[in-house]
């Protein structure tokens, strides 16, 4: 067993705040982050973090206090993340698109000591703050207002000396709430060590080298954003930060930063691949695209067109972000388990299945402290997820005779039709290959037989108008009869999270106005 196997954090178990202090002392002029034309060196970053940390301490925010943070991708967000981590406060990253009952629940459930938020989200936050007032509210942008505090003023605190720094690697530094697509959001507590292990695992997956530039479009409230912020403290790399993912600006931003790495989730690579080919496509600085959710057809086409190596992985926030990694390049595979995790595929009762047999993916620690101990204040969800030392992921998968794992969709994202269980993931993967389809999604809708039919949502490629009947005939030649959708609806956009993950709970179940394959068949036979 190597040192990395036994101690995934390596020989250095310093906390995030201590890593920043050491790096800024060693390389004060090195660039930590670029944001547009702004360049932030480690010395300047440390000063900004110290001032904000001391300002937060002056407001009475202490180690262990929970502080929701609702900020856009911006250097101020990075400074807030690092300042809270330095003093050992527990930040609660908030999805900036969250609103209504979900936002109210999060702010009430975590019982915060303070809130840091951008003024642009004030309208979203107003109902929640009226329902559950927070003692200390810090607004970024356009001043503070009565009864609140101004982020800029706090960040300009006169004391730039190093504040007391948390040195407990097992202290909970963040509670990240799930999207809540199947119920109310669940809070995942993450220790300082779990966050650092996720950063080291990203370094391993992405084959990070000195001088690399990590392109960061993913929201900083997501664990993927957090691990890159921490990675840049550990390695001699620079972050190229943008506020949001943009298909039209993506490659110009990549070239502008000279980015050597791009991170992907869900359909990001497919969206980029759907853009019209350009002669300069392969003329880009990216060496590796790393992430999760890349179908085999996209994998091979993207690698060939853009000259980029694909590094696929699988993981959950509950288990320090990464569980398996594909370092060998086996197309379609999520790879093999990291050395500090044991991974099984089981039936519903937890009995292990063999090679080629599909089941639920479950994960167990080989090194203690890398899987959450339980969801925050949710014993029922904890009992369902953690059973006899195993984390039940709720994901389907299988592994081959060589030990490579493959992802096969969510256990709850299946459709029961004509006695068959249909994985939506498999249907979507095939239809996404249609030459006129930019994106697609399928869901189950109730029918008159107390069963389900498949409803297909399609976002066509620009200037394409697919014929629904022809599209379904195309499906018939490529999938089992019971997998072919009955209904087809064309849409201009699919609802997504900021990390480009599909939000199926927002897709309408109504079928009025949709193309109906069975009705069309009856009409043709009449």
- Return the CATH number at 476: 3.30.300.30
DSSP string, 237-302: -EEEE-SS--TTTHHHHHHHHT-SEEEEETTHHHHHHHSPP-TTTT-S---EEEEE---HHHHHHH
Position 235 in a domain: no
Beta strands in 178-250 (DSSP E): 187-191, 213-216, 238-241
Position 208 in a domain: no
- Whole-model pTM? 0.85
Position 229 in a domain: no
Query: Could you tell me if 347 and 299 lie in one domain?
Result: yes
**CA pair distance 381, 436, nearest whole angstrom:** 41
Q: What is the count of structural domains for the chain?
A: 3
| Residue 438 token pair | 């930019």
Position 462 in a domain: yes
Can you say how many angstroms the Cα of residue 495 is from the centroid of all Cα atoms in its chain? 16
Angle at 78 between CA 74 and CA 80, to 5 degrees: 110
**CA pair distance 21, 24, nearest whole angstrom:** 5
Position 518 in a domain: yes
Cα–Cα distances in angstroms (integers) from residue 283 to residues 258, 279, 300, 429, 507, in the given order: 11, 8, 17, 28, 38
- Residue 181: what pLDDT? 45
CB 366 within 8 A of CB 343: no
Helix, coil or strand: residue 397: strand
Query: Could you tell me if 430 and 370 lie in one domain?
Result: no
CB 391 within 8 A of CB 363: yes
CB 235 within 8 A of CB 210: yes
For the segment 250-278, what is each residue's pLDDT rounded down to a tens digit?
Answer: 999 999 999 999 999 877 898 899 899 99
Kindly state the average pLDDT of the residues 378-384. Answer: 95
pLDDT level of residue 99 (50, 70, 90 thresholds): confident
| Residue 101 token pair | 């009952």
pLDDT at 182 over 90: no
Lowest-confidence pick of 384-388, 399-403, 413-417, 467-471: 413-417
Beta strands in 141-256 (DSSP E): 149-150, 172-177, 187-191, 213-216, 238-241
pLDDT at 379 over 90: yes
Helix, coil or strand: residue 201: helix
**CA pair distance 499, 228, nearest whole angstrom:** 15
Position 219 in a domain: no
For the segment 32-51, what is each residue's pLDDT rounded down to a tens digit?
Answer: 999 999 999 999 999 999 99
Helix, coil or strand: residue 154: helix
Could you tell me the residue range of the domain that residue 194 belongs to? Answer: 3-202
For the segment 284-317, what is each residue's pLDDT rounded down to a tens digit?
Answer: 999 999 999 898 989 999 999 999 999 999 999 9
- Could you say which of 410, 442, 468 is where a domain stops? 410
pLDDT at 184 over 90: no
Can you say how many angstroms the Cα of residue 246 is from the centroid of all Cα atoms in its chain? 16
Kindly state the average pLDDT of the residues 441-465. Answer: 89
């Amino acid at each position: 067993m190597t040192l990395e196997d036994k101690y995934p954090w390596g020989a250095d178990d310093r906390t995030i705040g201590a890593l920043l202090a050491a790096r800024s002392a060693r390389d004060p002029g090195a660039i930590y982050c670029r944001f547009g034309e702004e360049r932030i060196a480690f010395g300047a970053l440390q000063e900004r973090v110290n001032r904000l940390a001391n300002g937060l301490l002056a407001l009475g925010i202490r180690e262990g206090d929970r502080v929701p943070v609702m900020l856009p991708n911006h250097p101020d967000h990075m400074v807030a993340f690092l300042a809270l981590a330095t003093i050992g406060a527990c930040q609660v990253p908030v999805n900036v698109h969250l609103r209504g009952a979900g936002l109210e629940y999060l702010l009430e459930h975590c019982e915060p000591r303070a809130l840091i938020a951008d003024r642009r989200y004030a309208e979203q936050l107003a109902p929640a703050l009226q329902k559950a007032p927070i003692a200390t509210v810090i607004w970024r942008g356009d001043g503070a207002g009565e009864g609140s505090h101004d982020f800029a003023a706090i960040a300009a605190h006169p004391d730039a000396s190093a504040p007391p720094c948390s040195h407990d690697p097992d202290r909970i530094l963040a509670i990240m709430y799930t999207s809540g697509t199947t119920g109310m959001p669940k809070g995942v507590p993450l220790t300082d060590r779990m966050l650092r292990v996720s950063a080291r695992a990203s370094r391993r997956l992405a084959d990070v080298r000195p001088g690399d530039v990590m392109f960061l479009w993913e929201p900083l409230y997501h664990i993927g954003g957090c691990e890159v912020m921490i990675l840049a403290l550990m390695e001699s790399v620079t972050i190229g930060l943008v506020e949001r993912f943009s298909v039209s600006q993506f490659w110009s931003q990549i070239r502008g930063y000279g980015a050597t790495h791009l991170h992907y989730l869900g359909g990001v690579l497919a969206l980029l691949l759907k853009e019209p080919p350009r002669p300069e496509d392969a003329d880009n600085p990216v060496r590796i695209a790393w992430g999760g959710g890349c179908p085999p057809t996209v994998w091979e086409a993207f690698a060939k067109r853009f000259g980029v190596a694909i590094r696929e992985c699988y993981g959950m926030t509950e288990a320090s972000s990464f569980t398996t990694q594909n370092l060998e390049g086996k197309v379609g595979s999520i790879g093999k388990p990291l050395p500090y995790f044991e991974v099984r595929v089981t039936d519903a009762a937890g009995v292990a299945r063999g090679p080629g047999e599909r089941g639920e993916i479950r994960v167990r620690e080989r090194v203690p402290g890398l899987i959450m101990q339980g969801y925050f204040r949710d014993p029922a969800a904890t009992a369902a997820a953690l059973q006899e030392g195993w984390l039940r992921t709720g994901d389907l998968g299988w592994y081959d005779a060589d030990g490579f794992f493959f992802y096969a969709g969510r256990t709850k994202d299946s459709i029961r039709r004509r006695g068959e269980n249909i994985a939506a993931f498999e249907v979507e993967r095939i239809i996404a290959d249609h030459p006129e389809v930019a994106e697609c999604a399928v869901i189950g809708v109730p029918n008159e037989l107390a069963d389900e039919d498949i409803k297909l949502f399609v976002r066509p490629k620009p200037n394409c108008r697919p014929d629904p009947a022809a599209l379904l005939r195309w499906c018939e030649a490529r999938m089992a009869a019971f997998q072919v959708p009955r209904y087809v609806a064309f849409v201009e956009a699919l609802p997504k999270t900021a990390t480009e993950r599909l939000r199926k709970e927002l897709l309408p179940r109504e079928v009025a106005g949709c193309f109906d394959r069975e009705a069309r068949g009856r009409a043709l036979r009449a």
